[in-house]
């Protein structure tokens, strides 16, 4: 299949981890994958087997809706344009009303969301860092291993969207093997950047700290 991954042209510090995982998933299948940030006439004039558009925060609403509508006729089947990410999860009804597309809510850790075999494994796949070289935009925080060592949060604060995006708390996710694979495939990174929502809630906190130190991220020589 011919796959297009899209992030809107907003300025953000970190690369789209979800799209990086989707890219790795499709490349493992032997699919042809392209990544674009913002509106691109060359890509818009092509017909794609699948398009994935990521979303971030609600204050990027205007830019995100503009991007969705720009590429809305670029697949033969409208059902093969997928919209995901934080804003797509917490504002799914609003996005569907505005664009006609039904967003994919939550994480890609369940069968049926993308209608592909093994799609439930996407959230745990090693991200494809190579797509970041396909765009001119340089993320300020790109020289890092990105990942999670826990998921979700034990709290259910009324002001927080984590309980909607990541409703189940996962106590521990190993990271060392993923870092080794990234280093081998895409080169060594300077930092380790964990995107956990409440890593202090885990009962495996000491285990996680030991693993971080074992990966070489520690104070002193």
Which residue segment(s) compose the domain that 18 sits in?
A: 2-129
Q: Could you report the per-residue pLDDT of 147-159, keeping only the tens digit for each? A: 999 999 999 999 9
Half-sphere exposure of 68 (CA within 13 A, CB side): 25
Indicate if 99 and 177 belong to the same structural domain.
Answer: no
Indicate if 28 and 124 belong to the same structural domain.
Answer: yes
pTM: 0.94
Strand 50-54 and strand 81-84: the pairing is: parallel
Q: Could you report the per-residue pLDDT of 12-36, keeping only the tens digit for each? A: 999 999 999 999 999 999 999 999 9
Half-sphere exposure of 137 (CA within 13 A, CB side): 19
Name, in order, each residue with C-beta under 8 angstroms of 159's C-beta and a sequence gap of 6 or more.
none
Q: Does residue 110 register a pLDDT over 80?
A: yes
Indicate if 93 and 165 belong to the same structural domain.
Answer: no
Question: Does residue 141 or residue 154 have the better pLDDT?
Answer: 154
> Strand (E) positions, the chain?
2-7, 32-37, 50-54, 81-84, 144-147, 191-194
Per-residue b or e along 112-125, where b marks 16 or more CB atoms closer than 10 Å to that residue's CB: ebbeeeebbebbbb
Domain C-terminal end among 129, 151, 174? 129
Indicate if 158 and 124 belong to the same structural domain.
Answer: no
The answer to whether position 220 is within a domain reads: no
Domain C-terminal end among 88, 107, 129? 129
Confidence grade of residue 84 (pLDDT, cut at 50, 70, 90)? very high
User: Pick from 185, 181, 71, 191: which is nearest to 139 by CA?
Assistant: 191
CATH for 38: 3.40.50
Total domains present in the chain: 2
pLDDT at 221: 57
Tell me the mean pLDDT in the region 162-168: 94
Question: What's the whole-number average pLDDT of the chain?
Answer: 95
pLDDT at 141: 84
The answer to whether position 138 is within a domain reads: no
Confidence grade of residue 74 (pLDDT, cut at 50, 70, 90)? very high
Q: Could you report the per-residue pLDDT of 212-221, keeping only the tens digit for each? A: 999 999 876 5
User: Pick from 29, 36, 35, 18: which is nearest to 89 by CA?
Assistant: 18
């Amino acid at each position: 299949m011919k796959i297009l991954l899209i992030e809107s042209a907003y300025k953000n510090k970190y690369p789209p981890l979800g799209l990086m995982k989707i890219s790795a998933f499709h490349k493992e299948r032997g699919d042809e994958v392209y990544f674009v940030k913002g509106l691109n006439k060359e890509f818009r004039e092509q017909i794609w087997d699948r398009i994935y558009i990521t979303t971030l925060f609600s204050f990027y609403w205007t830019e995100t809706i503009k991007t969705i509508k720009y590429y809305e006729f670029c697949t033969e089947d409208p059902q093969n344009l997928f919209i995901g990410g934080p804003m797509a999860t917490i504002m799914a009804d609003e996005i569907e009303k505005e664009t006609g597309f039904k967003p994919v809510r939550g994480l890609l850790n369940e069968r049926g969301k993308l209608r592909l075999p093994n799609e439930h494994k996407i959230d745990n796949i090693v991200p494809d860092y190579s797509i970041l070289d396909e765009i001119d935009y340089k993320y300020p925080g790109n020289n890092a291993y990105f990942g999670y060592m826990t998921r979700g949060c034990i709290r259910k604060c009324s002001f927080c969207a984590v309980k909607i995006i990541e409703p189940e708390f996962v106590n521990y996710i190993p990271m060392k093997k993923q870092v080794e694979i990234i280093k081998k495939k895409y080169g060594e990174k300077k930092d380790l950047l964990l995107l956990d929502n409440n890593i202090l809630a885990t009962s495996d906190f000491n285990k996680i700290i030991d693993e971080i130190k074992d990966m070489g991220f520690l104070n002193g020589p």
